[in-house]
Each structure stands twice: as structure tokens, then as C-alpha cells.
Chain A
Amino acid sequence: MLPPDEPTAEIACTVNGEAIHTQVPLRRSLVDWLRHDVGLTGSHVGCEHGVCGACHVRVDGQVVRGCLMLAVQADGATVETIEGARDPLTLALQDAFFHHAALQCGFCTPGMILQAAELLAQHPAPTRAEVREALSGNYCRCTGYQPIVDAVMAVSAILPAK
């Protein structure tokens, strides 16, 4: 329930292909709004200060930190979360992460996969070092990163060269 007096604004945007028109508290971050108000809990909140990458979502096709953007800033935007990301790269990465055990607790995984998908979309044949560099804005505390790099490289290996 919204506290009385909480300042809000009206926004209209598309989330995972669905049009939403609603009031949002001015100070609510995009990821909090997606999680708590829209009910899309696949994006996670790890630090709330733009370091860990667990909150990654796509806004107008670009991966952004959901904790550094306010929900009101999504007015007019097309937002996509891990639940709605059905592009072939994301699906292939999800499969590869599963088979390479590229996750343990899984809290970082949705953000990591969206970031990896963006990398492969722009750069289909990265080196291991380039994968590591591209994922350095996403913290994983469990895997030591190596199986994540393995999973991304495995998907890269089946992509046509750009």
C-alpha cells in the first residue's frame, strides 16, 4: 500500500510487450517498481548503487542498471526483463548457463545473462579476456566467473560470425 502523501507521477510504458499506464512514486527505482509493483521479480537488487549488476534490465533495447534509473524515467520506454527476454541469444545463454553450471545461488544470473547477450549481439566472437572485461560490471560471488565465461564462449561458438 502506498503511504499517504507519497508524491507520484503518471507513466505509460511497455513492459515485456504489455502496455502499462499507472502512477508511480517519484522516488521509486525502476527495478523496485518492476519487482514490487509490476510483479516481475527476476531482476534482483544487490547493491542499489550501480556496482553489482544484479538489477540489469533492457530499456529501449539497451541494458541498464535498474537501480540507477527511476521508474518515472521509463515513461514512454520499452522495458524488457529476464522474464520477457525471449530473443535467441538470451535463450541460448540461459541453456548454456544451465549446462555449464555457470550459476550457483543464481542471484546475479539474470543480470549477467542480459549483459552477456548484449555483448554477443554486438561482438559475436569475443575472446575469453573480452568476455571477462564485458562482464566486469556484474558481480558473481559464487562461481569464480570461469564457468560463466565458458557458457558465453559456448554460445559464441555456435553464432554465425558478424
Chain B
Amino acid sequence: MTHIGQPLPRAATARLVAGRGSYLDDVSARGELHAAFLRSPYPHAGFRITGTAAASALPGVVAVLTEAELAAVCQPWQTKTGSASGMVSPTQRALAKDAACYQGEPIAMVLALSRAVAEDAAELIEVEWQELPAITNLALALHVDAPPAHQGLTSNLAWSTEMKGGDIEAAFAAATLVVEDRLVFTRSTGVTLEPRGVLAQYNPASQALEVRISHQMPHQLQRHLADLLGVSLARVRVICPDVGGGFGLKMHVYPDEIAACAAARLLGRPVRFVADRAEALLSDIHAREHIVEARMAVDAEGRILGFDVQDVQGLGAYSIFPRSSTTEGVSALRSLGAPYRFSAYRGRLRSVLQNKVPTGQYRSVGHPVGIAVAERLVDLAAAARGEDPLEFRRRNLVAQAEMPWVNPLGARMAELSHQQCLAKLEALLDLPTLRNEVATMRAAGRCIGLGFASIVEFTATGPEGYGRAGVLVAAVDTVVLSLEPSGEVTARASISEIGQGTTQGLAQVVADAFGVAPDQVLMGSGDTATTPHGGGAWASRGAAIGGEAAWGAGRKLRAEVLAAAAALLQCAAEALDIQDGHITDANGPRMSLAELAETVTFRGYELPTGVQPQLTVAHHYRREQDTALTTNGFQASLVEVDPDTGIITPLRHWAVGDCGRLLNPLLVEGQVRGGVVQGIGEALFEACRYDESGQFLSGTLADYLLPMAGEMPDITVAHVETPYSGSVLGAKGAGEAGTAGAPAAILNAVNDALAQHGASVSELPITPGAILRALGRLA
């Protein structure tokens, strides 16, 4: 293997640095109409559309559509999953019918010759609103007097569950130390720099729908479009061009996107919808709104005995389709304490409907919440025992000799390298020196904190995850390879590219499996017409699942090519090899791949009778064991708190991770650093805020704060490589671990700083105001 593991830049980025990408809004269709939506200004209101004449009469307007028109071509949908059986799940529609249940819910759409005119016309639609009481505050949503998020509901509780194992009562009875805290997580969102967008075309003659869309999983969407719009699946083509950021945000079924497709079907004309930033912030999924009350039992030797957790999770107005917003709550509880040995666990989850934007899967789904809670408790326990937080962790981490270990929740921990990662982190930090530096800075009056987080992440979900729950999400992937007459290899993968660089990693795998340089492998993905059905981009699965498919396809193509070459060269295939684009034997190159492919393609008569080389091969990969692949790591954060302004400055950050075999360390490190900064954003800045009446307050990028270059530290990244033994390549997921652990590391670092003042915080993001209140400097 010569290319797997090499830090090669992603080939496709040569286009992007030159401004020659092709994002959704870079291509238009002749005769296209621009869509704009009338969205509910109220968090909860009944409505009746009383007049569309003025809107329709505006020059340039082609159609004004409401739910009544779209109903002719578009079914409503409802999120149902065996993973949350019995969930109260209100019906969802492309355009709301009779009532809007969150501010921003689309209730009508205008199709016009320009977006500007469509927006003008949307403002002219006449609506009678009947404002209804709204519930947005998560802490109040389950109160008996809380208004229902949807009319007719008797409670806002959509679903609840208890995840448990071991004897929790005995664990707490045996404890000599119980630590507890209540942590509040304000919802945040992905903010892909490219907003969501779609260009839909319907050909009534062929009854075919073609949808270009900025999306992470073309095949999943193909299936839902077919179902919702009544078009046969094979006549729906979904094309995901260059995607300007995904982060989980672009994997859901959104009403406005479905409405654009329905309008294209209804009108028989191309329809374009591209969200502007304000509507993106008001309609992209939000995520991670939780109130978690957690206790941890510890024995006299400082060993964790168990966790007892209550999580209230805000769903928003609907449980997101198709995967269900409840997944985040379950994932938070599953990840809580996962690095550690303990004997009892009880986690109660209550998932609650609110008159807010629906929440959904966002990078590192649930993990940042669960890890922040557990790591906060661990720091509290270490402090209560008067010991070093790393010593407490070291004692409680599951040791290699104990693995595979199934924790009380039934999660299987195998092939994790906690001890090596911790050792590597300590070496990177040069801990004695760093502690001296911290002491010196503190002696000089600076408020400095050092925080740690230990992480287990569940990645690369297999078919058991959604399949058993009856949710039509593919967890398998296929790679198709063709040897072209030029000797180049074209690859078509059901894995999709959203900037992470998966296709580059796959090209390196194909290169090694087959025997060419990576630049001879041209990767294609993101188009249902050219790639086989598969999962796309979610759950850090590209390397672990797509990589195996790429390897298998490369080996199949190699076998075909060697058999053909053996027939032509009149030798045994076993005597031949493929190296750097040539078929070789012990004496060196015998023929180039181009010569072989030309012979097969143009002069087939030169081949012996019965030899039919398959120069196009496919390989499908399904992992047969392990529902998810666990990965592990550590993060550390050094922060400074300004006690006068409350401003927190991250000074340095370290991340050590084990994601199995690294296909491409350059791109993995990009994932880690980008993920860490997204996690720092969540910890310090990012918040989707609502006022008490349900008005959204974070509708611009001046209100929704993202991490900027000037505020972010350099991040030191290191790896431990424990290949997954159940696959050929041994890769596990790498894309989300940075986001999983950073909020916990920041929270602990800030609390380490505040501890000098006898203060603490337990709400994310940690705002300057919260710091000043914790220090008693602000009422």
C-alpha cells in the first residue's frame, strides 16, 4: 500500500480555489421560476389565506400556491420510527394547513420571474391570523398549564424513554461521593455557509423529476421525493453538486424544498428555491436544546459506580423526517460516560414539542451534550476528592485488557485506546511545564483555566441502526469502477462528498487496491442517475463503509484486468501484477493499462474465445457486525477569562484521537480542527435564541455568532491508530469527534478558571453575561 495513509490534498479542491466549483446556485435552467415563501410571523397561529389576487397581479408573478394547490401533487408526511415507538408525531406538509406551529413555517409560496418579485408578491398575500398561545421555553413545556404546541394535544411530551442497566439504587447506596449538576444547552444550528437550495424540473411527458439540491444523501431524498410526489423512484433523479457545507443540516426533508419540487411538478416548469440567510436560520434544523440533571456515584477509591440522568430535549414543532429528532436525545444518553467503567446507569429522556424550528441531527448528534455532562461530573468528582482530574479519569477509563466490554447500556466498547491517547495528550501538553505556566499566569492575576474531556464516539452506523427501526436510511454503500480506454479509472460511489474529502480518501483506496496512482482515479458521486443506491454522507461513515466498498471494487477490477492480461500475454494471472498503471511481471512492465483497455474495448477479437473481461465492476459493502464503530480520544483546552468583561479567550487546544486507520491524515486533521472549532462555537458563541413570546432573535449572522479566525486558537492534533479488526482497511469515523469533545473541554476549562473565584457555570454557550453573573459582578 503506497497511497493509503498519505496526506494528499483533495484533488477536487483545485477547482474550488479557482472559483470554478459548481454549487447549487451556480447553475440555472431555462425558463426557471424563482420561489419565495410566505412564512408564519407567529410561533403559533391559526390562519386563513383570504386573498392572493394582489400577489398574483404583480407583474412577473406566475403562480401563488397554498397547501390546497400542492395537495394535488404532494402527500403529507409523518415521522415514525421503531426507535421511538409511540411518539406523538404531528403531520407535516410542504405548506402548512390551517395552523402554523413555529415562526418561519411556510404557509404559501410565490413563483415569479425573479426572486425579488416573488418576495414582493409574498408580502401581498392576504392572511387572517388568529394568534394562539405558544410554548417555546423548554423548562416550562411540560408544565400542566403549558399551552399545547399543536392544537388538540393534551401534553407537549412527544416521547419518553428510560435507558438503563445494572442496579442504579445499589450503586448510589454504595457511593461515598455523589456529584450532581444541572446543565442547560441552548439550541444552535449548523450554518452551512452555502444555504439550502433546490432546482427542480418535472417532465410531464416522461413523468420524470430531476432535482438538483444542496444535500448530503441523494438516494435517501430520491426515495422520499418518489413517495411524497407520487413519481416512480427510478424516474426521480437527485443531483447533489458541490455542497457548500452539510454538517447534518442537509440530510433532512424540508417543507420548502419539497414545496419547490411539488411546484415544479404542478407547473411543469423549472423551479428554483435558494434560502437567504435569514430564512436559513429560521428554517434549517436547529439542534441540541437540552436540560440535563445528572448525578454520578463514586466509591471511596474514586471509582465511578453509576450515572443517573434526566434529560429533557426540545424537539421543536415536529420530529424531523425521516430520522426523528429523538435520535439526538438517545445519542446524548448513550455517549454519556461511555469512556468509563461503571456498573449501573439510568437515563430518562423526555422529548418535548415546542413552537420552535424543528431540531434534527447535527454534527456529532447528541455526543457534545452527553460528553459535556459526564465530563463536568468527572471534574466535580475529582475536585471533591482533591485529586487531579486526569488521575480520576485514568482510574476510571476502560482498560484495554477489559475489552471488549459491554457497558450497562449495552454499548460494546472494543479496540479503544484510552490509555495511549491519554499518554499522548500528556506528552503533547508537557503537563508539568504547562501547569507551571498556568500557575505563573495566575500568580500574575490572570484568570486561566485548563480543562479536559475524554470521548467515545459512535460512528459509521450500520444497517441495524435505522433498518430495524423501519426507517428507510441506507447504511450500505457501493462503488462502481470502470477501466477506461485511456487506462484511467472512473469511480462512482454512493458515498457523497460535502467537503470532508471522502472522495479523495476513496481514490487513494482504489489506487492501492487496483494498482494506479490516485490521480488516475476520477471519482464521481452525488447523482442518483450515475451512482448505485447507498447512504451518502452521515455518521462519519465515508472511510469505514465507503472505503471497504472502494477496496472491494478495486480488487475485483484488478482480478478482471489480470485475467485479461494473462490471456493476452499467455501466462498465469498469478505471475502478473498491476503497478503504477502497468501490468508487470517479475521482469518489469509488460503492457500499459491503456493498451489492455484499448484491446478489450476496440479489438476484442484479439482475446481468446470465452474471455470476456468485465472492465466495469461493482462492490457492495455491508458491515455484518457492530451496530456502530466506537472511536475514542481526549481533548484539552486552555482558556483565559476576563473577569471584568466576562469574555473568554481560548488560548490553546489539543485533540488526540483514534479513528482507526487514517486513510489521509491531512484530511482527517482538517476534520478534527474544523470540528473542534464548531464545538468551541457551540460552547462560547452560538445560540438560536427566542424571546418569551416565541419570536426568533437570531435571524442574522450579526445575531447568531460564529467563530471567527481572530478568536480561535491553533489546535494541536495527534493520532493513535488502532485499526478496526472487522474490516480490511480498519478505518473508523473521523468527521465528528472534534465537535463531540470540544464543548466539554471548554466548559471544564472555564470552570477551572472560575474555581479560583469560587464560581462556576453550567449553561452553554457560556456568555460573558453568565461569567459576570457567576462572579457576582452582574445581577
Task: Give chain A's interface residues, CB within 8 Å of chain B.
Answer: 1-6, 25, 27-28, 35-36, 40-49, 51-52, 54, 81-83, 94-95, 97-101, 103-110, 113, 128-129, 131-133, 135-136, 138-149
Contacts and interface: CB of A to CB of B under 8 A. Distances in A.
Interface string B209-244: 000000000000000000000000000000000111
Given A139-B701, A139-B706, A145-B707, 13 more contacts: A42-B18, A47-B700, A51-B702, A82-B18, A97-B13, A97-B17, A101-B670, A105-B242, A106-B499, A109-B17, A113-B17, A129-B710, A143-B674
A106 B242 contact: yes
B86 to A, nearest CB: 37
A49 B702 contact: yes
Contacts of A145: 677, 707, 709, 712
A94 to B, nearest CB: 4
Contacts of A148: 709
Contact of B17 (A52, A103, A138, A141): A103
B17 A133 contact: no
Identify the interface centre among A46, A100, A104: most chain B CB within 10 Å of its CB.
A104
Nearest to A96: B17
A51 B702 CA distance: 7
A98 B9 contact: yes
A52 B117 contact: no
Contacts of B701: 47, 49, 51-52, 139
A141 B247 contact: yes
A138 B18 CA distance: 17
A16 to B, nearest CB: 11
Interface stretch (B23-31, B39-47, B123-131, B432-440): B23-31
The 4 closest A-B pairs by CB, nearest first: A42-B19, A3-B60, A106-B16, A105-B499
Interface residues of B, number: 63
B148 interface: no
A105 B116 contact: no
A101 B10 contact: yes
Nearest to A147: B670
Identify the interface centre among A49, A81, A145: most chain B CB within 10 Å of its CB.
A145
11 contacts: A44-B193, A46-B193, A49-B700, A49-B701, A105-B16, A105-B194, A105-B242, A105-B499, A106-B499, A107-B21, A143-B674
Given A49-B702, A105-B193, A98 B14 contact: yes
A3 B277 contact: no
Nearest to A129: B710
Contacts of A81: 19
Nearest to A42: B19
A147 B673 contact: yes
A43 B16 CA distance: 11
Nearest to B678: A141
A41 B709 contact: no
A79 to B, nearest CB: 14
Contacts of B702: 49, 51
A38 to B, nearest CB: 13
B10 A149 contact: no
Nearest to A148: B709
Interface string B707-718: 111111011000
A27 B499 CA distance: 33
Nearest to B710: A136
Contacts of A103: 13, 16-17, 499
Secondary structure of the B contact surface, majority rule: loop
B191 interface: yes
Identify the interface centre among A45, A52, A106, A133: most chain B CB within 10 Å of its CB.
A106
B336 to A, nearest CB: 26
B662 to A, nearest CB: 14
Interface string B153-191: 000000000000000000000000000000000000011
Given A5-B59, A27-B116, A144 B499 contact: no
A107 B25 contact: no
B451 interface: no
B521 interface: no
B647 to A, nearest CB: 15
B193 A104 contact: no
Nearest to B738: A144
B666 A52 contact: no
A43 B26 CA distance: 10
B712 A43 contact: no
Contacts of A98: 9, 13-14, 17
Contact of A48 (B18, B276, B714): B276
B534 interface: no
Nearest to B702: A51
Contacts of B25: 35, 41, 45
Given A1-B113, A6-B114, A105-B194, A144 B715 contact: yes
Contacts of B700: 47, 49, 51
A6 B13 CA distance: 38
Contacts of A83: 18-20
B297 interface: no
Nearest to A47: B277
Contacts of B708: 136, 139
B193 A139 contact: yes
B320 to A, nearest CB: 21
B714 A146 contact: yes
Contacts of B676: 144
B499 A104 contact: yes
A145 B116 CA distance: 34
A101 B261 CA distance: 35
A145 to B, nearest CB: 4
B59 A4 contact: yes
Contacts of A139: 193, 701, 706, 708
Contacts of B581: none
A52 B674 CA distance: 17
A130 to B, nearest CB: 10
B771 interface: no
Contacts of B419: none
A94 B15 CA distance: 10
B242 A3 contact: no
Contacts of B339: none
B27 to A, nearest CB: 8
A109 B194 contact: no
B774 interface: no
Nearest to B121: A3
Given A136-B708, A141-B678, A5 B60 contact: yes
A136 B194 contact: no
B291 interface: no
A120 to B, nearest CB: 15
Contacts of B673: 143-144, 146-147
A1 B13 CA distance: 33
A136 to B, nearest CB: 4
Interface string B244-255: 111100000000
Nearest to A1: B113
A41 to B, nearest CB: 4
A48 B277 contact: yes
Given A49-B277, A141-B245, A144-B677, A44 B709 contact: no
B156 to A, nearest CB: 32
A48 B715 CA distance: 31
B112 interface: yes
Contacts of B711: 136
Nearest to B676: A144
